[in-house]
Amino acid sequence: MNNPSPKSGILSISPYQAGKSQAGKAATRIIKLSSNENALGSSPLAVAAIKEHLATLHRYPDSGSLGLRETIAKTYYLEASQIVCGNGSDELIGLLVHAFAGEGDEVLFSEYGFLMYQIYTLAAGATPVKAREDNLRTSVENLLAGVTQRTKIVFIANPNNPTGSYITKAELQYLRDKLPAHILLVVDAAYSEYVEIADYSDGLELVKATQNTVMLRTFSKIYGLAALRLGWAYGSAFVADILNRVRGPFNVSALAQIAGIAALQDTDFLEKSRSHNHTWLAWVSAEISKLGLKVHESIGNFVLVEFPTTAKNAKAACAFLMEHGIIPREVGGYGLPNHLRITIGEQTENEALIETLKTFMQA
C-alpha cells in the first residue's frame, strides 16, 4: 500500500506528549501536577459566565472576538485592533510559524525552549535551530550567535517552560536591539501573571516600541481556563493583520470568549492565585532542596527538579510518585531525562508531594 506523502518535516515530528492525568490504580486520590494548571481551579466569575451562556450554544461565536479584545485592551492599556485571540496560545504559535517561515527558513529558540516551537516549525517545513543554554537558562549570546540569513523567527518563553528560568528585561531588550529588524521576535509570556520580580519583562514594551515583536499570553495558566483553549497575541498592526488572514474565522469558541471577559474582571481570583503560588512555590522548592535534590529557581507555577543518576533517578521517582497517585511531568522529550517538572498544587497536594518524595528518597 502506498501512503499519501506529507510535506517534508512532518514525519520528523515527535507528537507532543501532554502531562499525564492517570496514575497508579491503587491510589485513592489523584494529584495532577503535570500540566501547570491552576491549583485553585478556575476563575469563579468565568464559570458563572459560561453557565449563563448555555442557552445560546446554537449561535456562532463572534469571529473577531471583539468584546474579549476590548476587555483585554482595557485591562492592559492596549490597542484592541492589535490583539489577535487564538484557540490557546498554541494556535498562535502555529499561525506565526506558518505565516512567517517555510521551507529553507530557520526558526531559532533556546535548547530547552517550549516544545511547541519545534513541532510547529517542522510542521511548516522550516528548520528548527536550537541555541545552547547556560545552566538551564536561555543564553541571549548563544541565540544571537545562532542567527543566520535564513532566520525568520526567534521564540523565547519568558519564563521558560519547563525550566522555570527567565531572562531579564535588559537581556530581552539587548536581544531585540541586536536581532536584525526583519526577524520576528516572539515573547511567550504564558506565566507572566505569576511573576513578582522587578527585572522581568513580558515583552510588552518591545511590542510597543518596535514593529517586529509579538507577545503571547494565555488564559490556561493563572486564569485556570486550560479546558477552553484561549490565548492572545499582541503585535504591530501589520502582524495582527497577518494573523487575521491565516486564522480560522471562528477559531475562538463563544464560551472561551465569554469566560475570558469574566476572568479578566476577576481580580480577586487572580490575586488569590498569585498569592497562593508565592507561598507554595517557595515552600515546595525549599522542601525538595532539603531532600538533597536540586531545584532550579523558578518564577512560574512549577519547579524543575534534578534527580541523581543513581537508583534514585527521575524515572524511578516518577514511577514512585505515580504509584502514590501523584503525577509529575517527565521531560525526557525536552532532553532532560534526569529531571521532573512538578506543578505547584494546593496545600494538601503539596504536602502529599513532599511526604511521598521523602519516602522515595529514604527507601
- In the chain, DSSP finds a helix count (H) and a strand count (E) of 12, 13
Give the separation between CA 32 and CA 343, rounded to whole angstroms.
Answer: 8
All residues at 6 or more sequence positions from 44 whose CB lies less than 8 Å from its CB, including other chains:
266, 269
Q: Minimum Å distance from CB 181 to ligand PLP?
A: 25
Is 161 an interacting residue with respect to ligand PLP (CB under 6 A)?
Answer: yes
- Euclidean distance between the first and final Cα of the chain, in Å? 53
**What is the rounded distance in angstroms from the CA atom of residue 267 to the CA atom of residue 46?**
12
Q: Is the dihedral of CA 146, 162, 168, 105 positive or negative?
A: positive
Hey, which residues between 172 and 201 contact ligand PLP (CB under 6 A)? 188, 190
Residue count at the site for ligand PLP (CB under 6 A)?
13
According to the binding rule CB under 6 A, does residue 115 interact with ligand PLP?
no
Cβ-based nearer residue to ligand PLP, 224 or 325: 224
Contact 304/296 with Cβ under 8 angstroms?
yes
Q: Which is nearer to ligand PLP, 203 or 231 (CB)?
A: 231
Which of 125, 164, 224, 231 lies at the binding interface for ligand PLP (CB under 6 A)? 231
Query: By C-beta, is 154 or 157 nearer to ligand PLP?
Result: 157
- Classified as helix, coil or strand, 262 is helix
Residue 88 touching ligand PLP (CB under 6 A)? yes
Letter for the amino acid at 17? Q
Residue 273 is a binding residue for ligand PLP (CB under 6 A):
no
Q: Is 320 in the site for ligand PLP (CB under 6 A)?
A: no
Among 90, 106, 133, 349, binds ligand PLP (CB under 6 A): 90
On whether the CB atoms of residues 132 and 272 are closer than 8 A, the answer is no
CB of 257 to ligand PLP, least distance (A): 14
Among 89, 118, 127, 201, binds ligand PLP (CB under 6 A): 89
CA dist., res. 132 & res. 314, Å (int) = 23
Residue owning grid cell 521523602: 358
Q: How far is the CB of 251 from ligand PLP (least distance, A)?
A: 12
Contact residues: ligand PLP, CB under 6 A: 36, 88-90, 114, 157, 161, 188, 190, 218, 220, 226, 231
